[in-house]
Structure 1
């Protein structure tokens, strides 16, 4: 298993982390009191600051009451899962650790004073520079990615099959299914599933796609390239 990149243009670690934050709807919170899985309880500002409104019956709310000055230390976990059903669906995990500080009365919205950030991908675990994280913006396609990939998988399986022409034939040996795994401004990643195991192949765009119009053009270019490869192989 692994990722084969046809080109080196990929989002930076800070951009990847910000993209996970932007798209995540759930958040795992671990404190000295216990662990919570919160749904829809957090938000992220443009500068990457995480705010949490702890539900009154949550373990986090109890941790706030038990902590000096109502400022518990916490580890937050955000999972980045592929929107299309594939094996090993979690593409990355982001951990943020620091102190949760109330903005108002204890039990109100809290702000994470970040001390450390770590991004875990399928291939490595990387510490994220906090200044770079604060300065980074999410990938421009991050919020649209779920519907884009779901539409590609459900409505255009023939396009996915065509895109495999851009992958070396040896890489396709034993492949039983191909699914779109991820897309960002720099390229599309396909998951190649075999009877045993899988691999990911990244297909780069000729230039970054910073909006949906540009993405449509980049995808058309990839499909045109795939058709040209098919003609050459006949």
Structure 2
């Protein structure tokens, strides 16, 4: 199971939507507070790129003592159509400052020093300290997960449905859709069936994968196990 710090770090480095929550009443549209780019710096700080005239840059520029307390809220939605599509949320609170002279003209790099973080996802909830966030690594499949899930759903739907055999009687007659993928395994959401239930089943790989080549082997082993009952 990935740690709360790893799951949070993965969300930050994913393509999930993010919005910066500023203190006080700011009459701005939500899209004005969505960073154009985000990444994690060498010391575990979150780096955000905004237009130079954005409300976030103005607020950070005029903050008392040069630091603005903010929260970065990240919302992750499954890239395939399933019931209950929101997979996870994370909240990263800390202090925002401007980093001048780094971003391209018309843009400003903002540095979010992490105070604490909280994640609420398919694994559960967890608090993350700054040191744990800084030392954690994003899941190696984060860059490809959305495309891989869409490919599994569109091109390997029959094989995914065969996983019902490994999920037991409760999966009989249900619709099976791959909903999450990481280095430890595949999560499938089952819906419909006699009781019209919606539930997830987790299918762990024999060992964690490190790259796409390892994932291909792991998926082949998983589908072989399902085919053999």
Is the pair's TM-score, using the shorter chain for normalization, greater than 0.5? Answer: yes
Moved more, 189-198 or 206-215: 189-198
1:50 aligns with 2:53: no
Q: How does 1:4-43 map to 2 (within 5 A)?
A: 10-24=1-15, 26-33=17-24, 34=26, 36-43=32-39
Paired position in structure 2 for 1:6: none
1:81 aligns with 2:72: no
Q: C-alpha root-mean-square deviation of aligned residues, in Å?
A: 2.1
- The 3-state SS of whatever aligns with 2:51 is coil
Q: How far did 1:66 drift?
A: 3.6
The answer to whether the Cα contact below 8 Å between 2:115 and 2:129 also exists between their aligned partners in 1 is no
Q: How does 1:146-185 map to 2 (within 5 A)?
A: 146-169=146-169, 171-173=170-172, 175=174, 177-185=175-183
Higher relative contact order (CA 8 A, sep 6+): 1
Q: How far did 1:59 drift?
A: 2.3
Q: How far did 1:221 drift?
A: 0.8
Structure 1 unmatched ranges of 5 or more: 1-9, 230-234
Q: What is the alpha-carbon distance in structure 2 between the residues aligned to residue 23 and residue 160 of structure 1?
A: 24
The answer to whether the Cα contact below 8 Å between 2:44 and 2:130 also exists between their aligned partners in 1 is no
Q: What is the alpha-carbon distance in structure 2 between the residues aligned to residue 158 and residue 25 of structure 1?
A: 28
Paired position in structure 1 for 2:104: none
The answer to whether the Cα contact below 8 Å between 2:80 and 2:150 also exists between their aligned partners in 1 is yes
Structure 2 unmatched ranges of 5 or more: 102-106
Q: What is the alpha-carbon distance in structure 1 between the residues aligned to residue 97 and residue 35 of structure 2?
A: 20
Q: What is the alpha-carbon distance in structure 1 between the residues aligned to residue 46 and residue 137 of structure 2?
A: 14
Number of aligned positions between the proteins: 217
The answer to whether the Cα contact below 8 Å between 1:26 and 1:39 also exists between their aligned partners in 2 is no
Q: What is the alpha-carbon distance in structure 2 between the residues aligned to residue 110 and residue 174 of structure 1?
A: 50
Q: How far did 1:163 drift?
A: 1.7
Structure 1, residues 165-202: CA drift from partner, whole Å, max 9, x if none? 11111x21563x21000111111000111275511110
1:97 aligns with 2:93: yes
